[in-house]
Amino acid sequence: MTTRRDFIRTSAAGMAGLGLASSLPRTLKVGKPVAPSDKIKIGLIGCNGMGFVDLSTFLENPETECIAICDIDDNPLYKRAAEAEKLQGKKVPNLYKDWRKLIDNKDIDLVIIGTPDHWHCLPMVSACQSGKDVYCEKPMGYTVEECNLMVKAAQKYNRVVQVGQWQRSDPHWQDAVAFVRSGKLGKIRTVRVFSYQGWCSSVPVLPDEPVPQGVDYDMWLGPAPSRPFNRNHFHFNFRWFWDYAGGLMTDWGVHLLDYALYGMNVKTPRSVTAMGGKFGYPADAAETPDTLQALYEFDGFTVLWDHAIGVDDGAYGRNHGVAYVGENGTLVVNRDGWEVIPERIDGGTPRMEAVPLQKSGGKGLSLHVKNHLACLKSRDVNTNANPAIGAGIATFASLGNIAYRTRKRLEWNGTAFTNDAEANQYLVPHYRAPWTLPQV
């Protein structure tokens, strides 16, 4: 009988022709005991934040086992290793500070990438080249060209990749899209997408300081520009600095804007423009805007992104959500659920029946992981958030940031900006030596 390990290491096309999929041990079924030789062996790169949340969710399933964790900081590395040992009842045998050593470990089947955004591309491509499958946190890539290379790598090496856009596996979001596509809302003129995060506070200005003991800071910087160590740029706060991420737009925006496009069944805008700035905290250390509106133009409708840091009052009584504004009514969906608010004729008779709040089951990430595991077993590369989906929305969010940074209305053809050479310079990253863009 073909073992789980043998099957996972062989391409879907080659194995399907031999009819070996049906020979997988029944013990792989979720909830039943799994033989050690049939465990999906996981290696985690970047364990301080969402990476460990992802790993913990994978470890809820008996067919998984963590055998390696990598982080450039000793503190979270050893802390998470101890926590993982408690979760799975056995020690994590391999701890690394260099992700390349984790990729070289031939016993690993699946790599989870939970690093800052600027460190997604290189380990993901390397994992694919090494015959490993990947779960990559969102946004999939830091730049458009990185996204292109990551899609190409997953396809070339026939890897099963899931991007951490877990709302793609959450039933109430899918139900909302089905209602939008039913036509009951009538003509949809705009899709409002908003994220007002009151819990996010100002980033205080701090002086540079020596690199803390146990931190490989040069590896943390990786392909990003060299600069002195500053705690503001490290761990969680990296997302507010352009060298490593794209602010709230690529943090929450990737989740929410994804459903704007998915619900409307579109991918490529005709143009984008943006305005905003550091209006709430003008003197703090963050570089990305605390207030931003980006307007994307499609044929017949617009998508509006609206975010604010330090403020919770978004729209429709929510601090985040996606609102499909139709002539008959508006469907609003967020992580709590979805509802339909009717339009009224002259303020009186409703144009459609209201739909009360359809609550979320709160299992989105768990279902997303189960979808990935199922695809790993069947060698189905079409996961719920496959690389094409991840690249599409990471690119879309990047367009809004580029429009903000150039302060121009930019026309987009799906590959490049057609009216501004300066804007196209943001599409490709400029890696610090000795790091270079991967060759795929």
Q: What CATH number should be reported for the domain holding residue 330? A: 3.30.360.10
31 and 14 in a single domain? The answer is yes
Q: Which residues, 6+ apart, have CB-to-CB distance to 255 below 8 Å?
A: 138, 165, 167
pLDDT tens across 286-301, in order? 999 999 999 999 999 9
356 and 318 in a single domain? The answer is yes
3-state class (DSSP) for residue 351: coil
26 and 72 in a single domain? The answer is yes
137 and 256 in a single domain? The answer is no
161 and 173 in a single domain? The answer is no
Q: Which among 162, 59, 63, 117 has a CA at the least distance from the CA of 368?
A: 162
CA distances from 177 to 139, 169, 247, 332, 389 (A): 22, 12, 27, 11, 16
77 and 93 in a single domain? The answer is yes
* Residue entry with tokens 């967020």: 334
Is 436 domain-assigned? no
Is 329 domain-assigned? yes
150 and 238 in a single domain? The answer is no
Q: How many domains does the chain fold into?
A: 2
Encode 175-217 in three state secondary structure.
Answer: HHHHHHHCCCCCCEEEEEEEEEECCCCCCCCCCCCCCCCCECH
105 and 51 in a single domain? The answer is yes
Domain enclosing residue 315, as ranges: 169-361+393-427
* Residue entry with tokens 């591309």: 121
314 and 415 in a single domain? The answer is yes
In angstroms, the CA 154 to CA 180 distance is 31
Q: What is the CB neighbour count within 10 angstroms for residue 201?
A: 12
CB 187 within 8 A of CB 414: no
Is 435 domain-assigned? no
104 and 158 in a single domain? The answer is yes
pLDDT tens across 164-200, in order? 999 999 999 999 999 999 999 999 999 999 999 999 8
68 sits in the region (left: phi over 0; alpha: psi -120 to 50; else beta) called beta
pLDDT tens across 59-84, in order? 999 999 999 999 999 999 999 999 99
pLDDT for 31 equals: 56
pLDDT tens across 261-287, in order? 999 999 999 999 999 999 999 999 999
| CATH code of residue 64 | 3.40.50.720
Is 68 domain-assigned? yes
Terminal Cα-to-Cα distance of the chain (whole angstroms): 34
pTM, rounded to two decimals: 0.91
45 and 181 in a single domain? The answer is no
348 and 373 in a single domain? The answer is no
Residue 315 pairs in a beta bridge with 318
